[in-house]
Amino acid sequence: MTITAQAVHQVARPSGFPSLSDFAFTEHVLDAPSPGTALVENILLSVDPYMRELMDQAGLPGGVSWWDLDAPLEGRTIGRVLTSAAPSLAPGDLVLHRKGWRTHALVEASTVRVLPRYAGVPLTAYLSVLGGTGLTAYVALTRTLRLQPGEDLFVSAAASGVGTAVGQFSRLMGAGRIVGSVGSPVKVKRLVEDLGFDAAFDYHDGPVSDLLASAAPDGLDAAVENVGGDHLEAAIGSLRDFGRIAWVGAIAQYHSLDTPPPAPRNLFDVVGKSLRLEGVLVRDHNDAQSLLEDFAVPHIRSGALVPQETVVDGFENMAAAFLGALRGENMGKMIVRAGE
């Protein structure tokens, strides 16, 4: 059995914000799987802001890029096994793997996860609140911040996949006042009316430090930071003594790695307030996946947790969906649906 697969290649290094011309759609033939592998048809594919960093030349030490030019790209993906030469994988199995940005892939059985099926849980949730997005939010709250009931929390980029998961998770964990920053009045309204936030603001409306101080006049205990730059400065400024920051992302500098935004001018307040600032890499916490599912699945079934997702139909829209996620066109996790 051979399959003609489509794939997206990066063909140029962007300068600043990427464009569609940085990508090309290609076709290639996949042979039958060899022992220990399986051929999968990709159904749901993830595009994430962190991928912007992977497009640059300096992704790894020594100037080696994360994404090679003229090669299939990568990303979390859900696929259906078509044929298998691996005892642990059977035709029809739904698997999570990283050979994304293509319609079909040959995967090694040792590198994929056969997805459990929970009644009442949509398949897309395995890329959002039950996927890397949700796991990032969960470990940021439970392991990095160790959020306690009644504590007040700031979430930057709060309409993103991670941000919407953090907001809903923290409300279910009994957080006190939850404040979010977003990029439009529509998203402000969604956070407050639908997602359990007590307050939200559009960061375009003024200095972020002033907006956060107004939304949380009594200060905050913790922050999940996804932006960097002025948002990190605002978080440091609004935290009470012994506050904690889980630093997840730095959207503010993804398009300008050569000239990143100034470091927070109040960075030494981390010392003056005895704050704790800790980075969060989800790959360090794969052991928490079962804990996330134990927490989230009952809430999904009850309706208390609603996965926030923006689903774009058609594999031909992969690159456009990625650029849309960078522009903030999504509410929640951005997902491309390539098949049924």
Q: What is the pLDDT of residues 246-296, one digit of tens each?
A: 999 888 777 665 566 777 999 999 999 999 999 999 989 999 999 999 999
Which structural domain, as residue segments, surrounds residue 154? 132-283
| Cα Dmax for the chain | 65
Per-residue pLDDT, averaged over 209-234, amounts to: 96
Per-residue pLDDT, averaged over 176-204, amounts to: 97
Q: Are residues 24 and 106 in the same domain?
A: yes
The amino acid present at 235, given as its one-letter code, is A
Question: How far apart, in whole angstroms, are the C-alpha atoms of residue 201 and residue 184?
Answer: 8
Per-residue pLDDT, averaged over 177-192, amounts to: 97
How many CA atoms are closer than 13 Å to the CA of 267, on its beta-carbon side? Answer: 6
Q: Are residues 10 and 97 in the same domain?
A: yes
Question: How far apart, in whole angstroms, are the C-alpha atoms of residue 224 and residue 95?
Answer: 30
CATH of the domain at 239: 3.40.50.720
Token pair 């993103």: residue = 160
**CB 144 within 8 Å of CB 170:** no
Does residue 7 fall inside a structural domain? yes
Phi, psi of 293 (to 5 degrees): -65, -40
Q: Are residues 87 and 174 in the same domain?
A: no
pLDDT band at 216 (very low <50, low <70, confident <90, very high): very high
Q: Are residues 65 and 153 in the same domain?
A: no
Domain count, the chain: 2
What is the tens place of the pLDDT at every residue in 31-57? 899 999 999 999 999 999 889 888 886
Does residue 301 fall inside a structural domain? no
Q: Are residues 120 and 180 in the same domain?
A: no
pLDDT at 339: 77
Per-residue pLDDT, averaged over 172-195, amounts to: 97
**How many of the other CB atoms lie within 10 Å of CB of 56?**
18
pLDDT at 50: 87
What is the tens place of the pLDDT at every residue in 54-79? 888 655 555 555 788 998 889 999 99
pLDDT at 60: 52
Beta bridge partners of 332: 160
pLDDT at 258: 58
Does residue 297 fall inside a structural domain? no
pLDDT band at 161 (very low <50, low <70, confident <90, very high): very high
CA 88 remoteness from chain centre: 29
Does residue 166 fall inside a structural domain? yes
Question: How far apart, in whole angstroms, are the C-alpha atoms of residue 106 and residue 34?
Answer: 9
Percent pLDDT > 90 in the chain is 84
Measured over the CA atoms of residue 196, residue 199, residue 203 and residue 207, the dihedral's sign is negative
Does residue 157 fall inside a structural domain? yes
pTM: 0.92
Q: Are residues 276 and 137 in the same domain?
A: yes
Q: Are residues 124 and 154 in the same domain?
A: no
CA 99 remoteness from chain centre: 17
Q: Are residues 147 and 244 in the same domain?
A: yes
Token pair 């796991």: residue = 135
pLDDT at 263: 76
**CB 333 within 8 Å of CB 309:** yes
Percent pLDDT > 70 in the chain is 95
Q: Are residues 20 and 144 in the same domain?
A: no
Q: Are residues 114 and 162 in the same domain?
A: no
Does residue 199 fall inside a structural domain? yes
How many CA atoms are closer than 13 Å to the CA of 147, on its beta-carbon side? Answer: 31
**CB 134 within 8 Å of CB 299:** no
SS3 assignment for the chain: CCEEEEEEEECCCCCCCCCHHHEEEEEEEECCCCCCEEEEEEEEEECCCCHHHHCCCCCEHHHECCCCCCCECCCCEEEEEEEECCCCCCCCCEEEECCCCECEEEEEHHHCEECCCCCCCCHHHHCCCCCHHHHHHHHHHHHHCCCCCCCCEEECCCCEHHHHHHHHHHHHCCCCCEEEEECCHHHHHHHHHHCCCCEEEEHHHCCHHHHHHHHCCCCEEEEEECCCCHHHHHHHHHEEEEEEEEECCCHHHCCCCCCCCCCCCCCCHHHHCCCEEEECCHHHHHHHHHHHHHHHHHHHHHCCCCCCEEEEECHHHHHHHHHHHHHCCCCEEEEEECCC
Q: Are residues 182 and 207 in the same domain?
A: yes
pLDDT band at 110 (very low <50, low <70, confident <90, very high): very high
pLDDT at 35: 96
- Among 283, 300, 326, identify where a domain stops: 283
pLDDT at 150: 98
Q: Are residues 137 and 116 in the same domain?
A: no
CA nearest 290: which of 156, 46, 113, 71? 113
